[in-house]
Amino acid sequence: MSQDDRVSRPTFWLMVVPSVLLAALFLLAPGALTRRLGLRDPRSTTLARCLGVRQVAVLAAFVRRPASARLWMFVAEDVMDVALSLLLLRGRPPAHAARRAALVVAIGLTVADLLITVLARRSARRVRTRGAVRPRR
């Protein structure tokens, strides 16, 4: 793996730890999660398991892609989660605090992952250009 393909250790932990925790929640306790969100339909539990599998797939791909692609995968996944959270809120009583909280968490993670990705790319760009020879003016 070249220097350009590496992600800094803090960036790695900021992106991976929440994903591992979410994957564990979706895969190990999908029924408890969906009940907490007020979703009684058995299909909701199946959907939660599928989201856990998707989370694991993104984590597996994380170690196989160049750094820039890796970080953007997390942002794309978060955008999908915001859309899914909005669908869960549609047609249901908006008073259910757990569903609103899920939407707020999804939006918060999206913003955080986007910020981390942009900052990591800027940092990587600075590292690459540090050794470059600048033309004289």
* Nearest one of 102, 120, 86 to 22, comparing CA atoms: 102
Q: How many domains does the chain have?
A: 1
Please report, as a single letter, which amino acid is at residue 117. T
Domain that residue 117 falls in: 8-127
Is residue 135 situated within a structural domain? no
- Tens-place pLDDT, residues 112-127: 888 988 888 787 777 6
pTM exceeds cut of 0.75: no
Is residue 95 situated within a structural domain? yes
- Rounded CA separation 69/5 (Å): 10
pLDDT at 133 over 90: no
Is residue 3 situated within a structural domain? no
Is residue 98 situated within a structural domain? yes
Is residue 112 situated within a structural domain? yes
- Tens-place pLDDT, residues 56-66: 988 888 777 76
